[in-house]
Amino acid sequence: MSAAVKELLDILDLERLEVNLFRGRSPQVGWQRVFGGQVVGQSLVAACRTVEDRLPHSLHAYFLLPGDPAVPIIYRVARIRDGKSFTTRQVNAIQHGQTIFAAMVSFHADEEGFTHQMAMPVVPPPLDLPSEMDIKQRVLPMMPDPVRAYYERERPIELRPVEFGRYLGQRQAEGRFHIWLRITDTLPDDPVLHRCVLAYASDLTLLDAALIPHGRTVFEKDILPASLDHALWFHRSFRIDDWLLYAHDSPNASGGRGLARGLVFSRDGQLVASVAQEGLVRQRRTE
């Protein structure tokens, strides 16, 4: 197992302090604030540690304050409901005596019912696209410094963008963006773990979609991005150690905020999850 994957799994393996109280840590990589996907993933882990025999089907959360990577995060879980079909948990993430993130997580016992889904977009399969090694060797020299620095780090989640020309300043038709992703090592057969890792990964690229119609990216120095909220729905079982297609679009940007949506498909075309997020997408003012 790679060091990056082991680090991610260690970060998601929260320490239990009390029945409904957990402690998580942040990687010490020099970031000024905690990565939002980390808090989403750790909050989902905390909620799942208080529920048996049911899987999470949705999470709705708000980012309230920037997280401090230098100190642990305390996760306090409130057992809101334990019903016949649904279980509900509220999770508050706390640092320095303040709530930095608040989430509601719902669990459901699967049952038979109506079934339909949107079709998976027709895009090249992941193995036909440049690998991360190919991108590093062929494409990175042409990319802006912040994008190049992002791809040069060893990361637990491999990303293969379909329209990687977007990072070279190319505008995308209809404002859509597709990226294949997976964790770089095989994980145990634990559906909770696969959902928590996807929760972490769901915040990696989503807010960037709000800038697609403008031909910009969150990597640019004059863009000030910040996630405001995050919603995630799990529809079907999946494995995060196999390729998933993350299809992005952005129906609106106004008032300094952008709305981004994502649909997550397995390689065989099953819609396994949906994501939505509003975020701050300010342009830095020049004096």
d(CA 100, CA 113): 38
* 170 close to 6: Cβ distance less than 8 angstroms: no
Name the catalytic one among 227, 250, 266, 274. 227
User: Distance between CA atoms of 236 and 233, rounded to whole angstroms?
Assistant: 10
C-alpha 86/C-alpha 121 separation (Å) is 32
173 CB-near residues (< 8 Å, 6+ apart): none
> How buried is 53 (Cβ within 10 angstroms: 0-12 exposed, 13-18 middle, 19+ buried)?
exposed
Which of 167, 59, 160 has the alpha carbon at shortest distance from 107? Answer: 59
Catalytic residue list contains 227 = yes
Measured between its terminal Cα atoms, the distance across the chain in Å is: 49
Residue pair 25/8 in contact (Cβ under 8 Å)? The answer is no
* C-alpha distances in Å from residue 262, one per residue of 115, 202, 271: 20, 8, 11
> Of 203, 208, 250, 274, which one is the catalytic site residue?
203
203 is catalytic: yes
Q: What does the H/E/C string look like for 105-172? A: EEEECCCCCCCCCCCCCCCCCHHHCCCHHHHHHHHHHHCCHHHHHHHHCCCCEEEEECCHHHHHCCCC
**Positions marked active-site:** 203, 227, 277
